[in-house]
Chain A
Amino acid sequence: MNSKHILKSVLAVAFIAGLSSCKPELKDVTPTNGQADFSRYIAIGNSLTSGYADNGLYLEGQKNSYPEMLAAQMKNVGGGNFSTPFFTEAHANGSGYAKLLGLNANGTPNIGAETSNLAVRGQVAIPGFGNVVLYDKYSGDLNNYGVPGIKLAHVNLAAYGNLNGYYERLLPGNAGTNSTTYLDFVMAKPYTFFSMWLGNNDILGYASSGGVGDIPTPKADFAALYAATVNRLVGSKAKGVVATIPDVTTTPYFRTVTLATLLATIRATAAGASVTTLYIQTGAGTRAATAADLFTLTLSSAGVMGVPNGAGLPYGLHPLNPIENKYVLDATEVATVNDFTAAYNATITSVASANGLALMDANTLLKQYNTPTQVNGAVVSSAYITGNLFSLDGIHLTPMGYAITANAFIKAINTKYGSSIPIVDVTKYRGVKFPLNNN
């Protein structure tokens, strides 16, 4: 053995050490489009599609809509440009929205409203309908056709562009002069792939107003209209994905304020220490509330509980001054909501199947979070504020919630069309934003 051998040995070790610059290699993935063509994707839907959150439509929500996420991922498999009718930076707060100001001493949220930098351009009175708030017009390219408030029942309504400010802003004409139906509008330009998440509002208005503010779209009408709408959208060759309607009765909107929390609050006061019964107004008259009756989130912020009326009877505590129907989805109404939701979803499922479309079962997806479930280590649940899934309005989703739905859409599309659109990273999206200081 001489120094030459030593040198060789040292070199051999150095060579192995040189490998240390190598990273571990994972097997390559090549996203493919399968049997679908994503070159022009359009998103049809309501508030959930627009990115509505925290009781408002604003720029951050629009940027975190599930169609934006889907379209970004579709770019890996031949997807083209995707345009959402964004509000401008100067008017980034759009319609205005709810924001968390802090938590009160008893843990209940203190919620305020963002009212600066709005994109509200005015208001117009539509004869026979009422006032419609108007927003900044948008005239650029359009792929995300999400219109807050729209029902399936509205898609063929020629006057709808005059009744909904969020739709009006997408149309060239001013409120009162529009006559383009929503379905004609979205179909005006060719597309290769569509998503449609419609139908929520056909029951939501009834539910969120405690069964008094709206009438559910009749099931048969819904079935016929859904089939006809999908039929038109599919046309000769377009592919797409449709989604079922989440059960709104399990959202924080109906599960945060409960008989138990209301009673606890009242019993915590000196005057209410002995209260055991709350009274509610229902379609069938006034009666004592039970745990099967659901209260709206708006009841807590209304500040009406226990307030005496003219006769000195405290609100909600006396049969002659019951909690108004608009704050209560009583057990019978809950059953109605569930019945309609189930019927709508049966329609959606069968129409999807009949047309060979992918189906994203949003109802099943969101329901699983009624039991807190970890998503990449983050606990996600239907709990209000801390659950990360629902935004401050208790019905619409947080960016994280929308990311979870985006992945469910992606999985449904991939399964149906043999594509491999990559999923989004759910943990990159936020839950409910807390304020800087404790107020």
Chain B
Amino acid sequence: MPFVGFSQSFQVNLQGHKQIAMGGAGTGVALDEASVFFNPGAVSFLKQNGVQGGISALYLKTGFRETGSNITEYNKDRIAPPFQAYAVFGNPANRLRFGIGVYTPFGGAMHYDENWTGKYTVTSLDLQAVYIQPTLSLKLTDQIGIGAGLVYALGKVDLQRAVPLTLSTGQSGTAQLKGDTKDFGWNAGIYVKTLSGVSIGITHRSQVTANVKDGDAIFVVPASVASTFPTKFTASLPLPATTTLGLGFYPSEKTTIAVDANWVHWHKYEELAFDYDNNTRIPDTKSPRNYHDAGVIRVGIQNLTTTKLALRAGVAYAFTPVGKGYVTPEVPDANRVLLSAGLGYMPTSRFGIDLSFLYENVLSRTEKNIETNLDGTFKTVAYIPGISLSYKF
């Protein structure tokens, strides 16, 4: 399940379409209801209550070419629909405000051809993780706010690969590992409006350890060996903690610049282990991952061009946590460049629509996996348009 890292491991942050359009930055600014995610401490600084809901269409294309081959294989077209909804309520005049967020911080749909060259490592990965986060935010003074939310994480995973045993049809056997997870975590932040006008946010989102208990292991293998294969598995995966420092600059009344630096505590992801209920044929597996902590730097700008229109743009650079020799096809990760743009339109003072577009260019990476010996070049790009609707009250 390393895939959980995929697409979100570096806070691609499909969390609020204003912020998506601003390179995913938003921790040091009190922009809108998405502060429930970005910085619970900033929620109490929001001038209005509101509710928003949005969705993205994550389209990710990966090309792979085995070293020495002249054939490039691509993953199948699949669009993952990460969504997010946030609401902030309570009296804006009061110091204590409430928020709730429902969002998908991890997710993906990586599907390769059933007969691609890496089929014995993975053929498909579907992952959905929904976080539900009730949040309290307290404005300690007019300059300082703190906030925290409890995260209830619901996960669903479905990992498939080919098994190197030949069926009577000449095709390979297959394995499917699927299961659900229910785990807890938290999200806390502090927000400071300095006298110089610069705002500062510091947040920490805890690690959530996703535990799959009693997951289904469905092996389609020759009948003569089927009874020696497992039917259940247990696995756990750390969804890493993230510490963020965010800054907000306001060069003019209409312009906001947000800068975020994320530090993702990936070092906890040392191995991907599957504990099977039947080890007659296959032992429990411990695949080394040995990720290391990695940072992301994000810069975004918003310009309120008119009272109704806001234009946004951003850029980010994410360092990969995946060391040399550990790249896997379900997470063909590498350092990546993110470019974003978007606009917001408010036809009335209460109703708003935000459009975002995020382009990710994951740098090409050629290496041999130390476990599977899959040796080749991965190159990935992602295109992620999104939309959200919001209503202030």
What residues make up the interface of A, taking CB atoms closer than 8 Å to B? 1, 5-6, 9-10, 12-13, 16-17, 19-20, 22-27, 29, 31, 76, 102-103, 373-380, 386, 388, 407, 410-411, 414, 422-423, 425-428, 430-439
Contacts and interface: CB of A to CB of B under 8 A. Distances in A.
A-B pairs with lowest CB-CB distance, top 5: A434-B222, A377-B120, A377-B121, A378-B164, A20-B383
B306 interface: yes
Nearest to B355: A13
A221 to B, nearest CB: 38
A428 B69 CA distance: 13
Contact of A13 (B343, B364, B374): B343
B166 A9 contact: no
Contact of B63 (A6, A13, A24, A376): A24
Contacts of A426: 117
14 contacts: A5-B305, A6-B343, A9-B311, A20-B383, A24-B62, A26-B63, A29-B65, A76-B70, A376-B374, A407-B68, A414-B68, A422-B69, A431-B164, A434-B165
A24 B385 contact: no
A427 B119 contact: yes
Given A17-B385, A23-B61, A373-B373, A29 B70 contact: yes
Given A376-B374, A379-B164, A435 B120 contact: no
Contacts of A20: 59, 383, 385
B130 interface: no
B222 A435 contact: yes
B183 interface: no
B244 to A, nearest CB: 27
B380 interface: yes
Contacts of B226: 438
A54 to B, nearest CB: 12
Given A374-B372, A386-B165, A436-B223, A31 B70 contact: yes
B379 A24 contact: yes
A25 B374 contact: no
Given A386-B165, A422-B69, A433-B170, 6 more contacts: A1-B305, A22-B381, A29-B70, A377-B372, A378-B162, A436-B168
Contacts of B380: 24
A22 B359 CA distance: 12
B66 interface: yes
Contacts of B372: 374, 376-377
Given A24-B61, A26-B65, A430-B170, A378 B223 contact: no
B357 interface: yes
Contacts of A1: 305-306, 308-309
B195 interface: no
Given A16-B341, A24-B380, A26-B72, A434 B355 contact: no
Q: Which one of A10, A17, A386, A428 has the highest number of Cβ atoms from chain B below 10 Å of its Cβ?
A: A17
B140 interface: no
Interface string B346-380: 00000000010101000010000001111001011
A72 B374 CA distance: 23
B161 interface: yes
A340 B260 CA distance: 69
B115 A23 contact: no
Nearest to A414: B68
A428 B113 CA distance: 12
B227 to A, nearest CB: 9
A374 B371 contact: yes
A427 B222 contact: no
Contacts of A380: 164
Nearest to A77: B70
A103 B224 contact: yes
Nearest to B356: A13
B70 A422 contact: yes
A97 to B, nearest CB: 15
Contacts of A19: 359, 383
A425 B66 contact: yes
Contacts of B377: 26-27
B186 interface: no
B374 A377 contact: yes
B93 interface: no
Contact of B166 (A13, A16, A425, A434): A434
B286 to A, nearest CB: 14
A26 B381 CA distance: 11
A430 B345 CA distance: 58
A388 B224 CA distance: 16
A65 B203 CA distance: 61
